Structure 1
Amino acid sequence: MALPSWTDTKLGTMKRAALWLVSVVGEGNTFTKENVKDAFPGVSQADRRVRDLRKHGWRIDTNREDPSLGQHEQRFVAQGEPVWQPGKGSVPAQSLTDTQRREVLARDGHFCRSCGIAPGEEYPGTYQSAQLDIARRPVKQSDGTVRVENVAECNRCRVGGRGKEADVEALIVGLSKLAPMERQMLSDWIDADQREFGMVERYWADYRTLPADSREKVRKALSD
């Protein structure tokens, strides 16, 4: 089925913006607010209508989700609901309030539930600092149904984990196969709600940040 024209002014701005992204920008490509203004001259809040598409499953990243992007760049990553079709796009997904967002962060201990990093900490082996946000995680339940739950996640894990589904039952089955010592170790981590990295892992992270000449010095010192 042929797509409607994004220049059709009879369509709402959000629908036109969605069609513009699909027809002109293309998935995987970048655009800026100036591009949006040029595409929709005289249309107020066109950039906001682009952002509204995220409520309908569209993935549009900024440098918050993708550090490779410039401050004014956005990337059209993936199309969501075809909002231009009849009956689509009229009821946006419910957004979290500031209070709900704070509650999720507090419940999750103010650290990423995927990698354990806290906001402002540097990722091991890099000089990049983490930022926390709320991700919507599909979780497969024991009865086979899927429920979307909110979870704290850092900017890097949000990018890498998009579209992934957690499976509670598979995890429980896997736990039953662990040896007693392994089960106790995991139980201790769960009770403490954290896993401490050993010194060797920390030294490895420090080593990876070094330039080539300095890495060679470390290799020689380790072999002596």
Structure 2
Amino acid sequence: MTLPSWQDEKLGTMKRAALWLLTVVEEGNVFTKEEVKNAFPGISQADRRVRDLRDYGWKIDTHREDALLGQHEQRFVAQGQPVWEPGKATKSSSALTDTQRRKILTRDGNRCRSCGITPGQEYADTFETAQIDIARRKVKLPNGTSSVQPIAECNRCRVGGRSLEADLSAVLEGISKLGGLHKQTLTDWVAADEREFSTVERLWADFRTLPAESRDEVRKALGLPAA
């Protein structure tokens, strides 16, 4: 089927933007806000109409999802609904409203549930600050089915955790096997929604991030042979 022209002004801006992405930018390529502005001169909300396409299943990444992108760059990853077709510009029921988004962020403590960083906090050893948004995490339920659930995550963890599947059944099974002392410890952590890590635990976590050559230096310092 021949696509309508993205330059057809009879179409709405969002429909034209979708066609522009498909025929000019093309999937997998990067575009900028300035290019959107130049493609739709005189339309002040053109970049917003591009963002609106995400509500129709279009995958458009920013630097928050793709660490390789600059702050003003976006990547057209995949097409969603063909919104230019009659009846197709209907929002997916899975799209989050602003109210739902705020509720999830509040529920998750306004921090990344994967690494614990908070909005605006700098990542260790960098000048990059964290941005928290809503990701969708696949969760394996005790009955064997899977459910996609929203979770607050930072830009780094969202990029690295897209293929993760959390296993609720394994967590619940593990809890059922805990002894009294360990179960109480976990209960306290869950109640506070945080835990303090010991110096040894922090060193272990730092060790795991080291390249192989540096890990061998640590092994040497501990009297162990190189791996």
Compute the TM-score of the two structures, normalised by the length of structure 2. 0.71
**Alpha-carbon displacement from aligned partner over 1:150-208 (angstroms, at most 9, x marks no partner):** 43222223334458676xxx623662366334972654543332344443442244457
Map of 1:111 onto structure 2 = 111
Matched, 1:222 2:219: no
Specify the SS of the correspondent of 2:152: strand
Distance in 2 (CA, whole Å) between partners of 1:49 and 1:28 is 19
Tell me the distance in 2 between the aligned counterparts of 1:158 and 1:26.
24
AA of the residue aligned to 2:172: L
* Aligned twin of 1:171: 168
1:96 corresponding residue in structure 2: 98
AA partner of residue 96 (structure 1): D
On the 8 A contact 1:140/1:147 being kept in 2, the answer is: yes
Q: Residue in 1 aligned with 2:202? A: 202
Offset at 1:57? 2.4
Distance 1:139 1:26, change over 3 A: same
In structure 2, the gaps of 5 or more residues are none
Q: CA deviation at 1:53?
A: 1.1
Larger CA deviation: 126-135 vs 52-61: 126-135
Q: Unaligned stretches of 5+ in structure 1? A: none
CA deviations over 1:10-29 (Å, ceiling 9, x no partner): 22111111111122212222
Distance 1:160 1:5, change over 3 A: farther
Number of positions where the alignment pairs a residue of Structure 1 with one of Structure 2: 218
1:159 matches 2:159: yes
TM-score for both structures, normalised by structure 1? 0.72
Distance, in Å, in 1 between the alignment partners of 2:71 and 2:171 is 43
**Partner of 2:98: helix, strand, or coil?**
coil
1:201–1:68 Cα change, 3 Å: farther
Query: 8 Å contact 2:139–2:168 — kept in the other structure?
Result: no
Partner Cα separation in structure 2 for residue 47 and residue 195 of structure 1: 42
Q: Distance in 2 between matches of 1:163 and 1:214?
A: 29
Residue identity in the other structure for 1:39: A
**CA RMSD, Structure 1 to Structure 2 (Å):** 3.9
Q: 2: distance between equivalents of 1:216 and 1:173? A: 33
Paired residue type of 2:83? V
Q: Which moved more, 1:195-204 or 1:53-62?
A: 195-204
Question: Does structure 1 residue 70 correspond to structure 2 residue 67?
Answer: no
SS in 2 for 1:20: helix
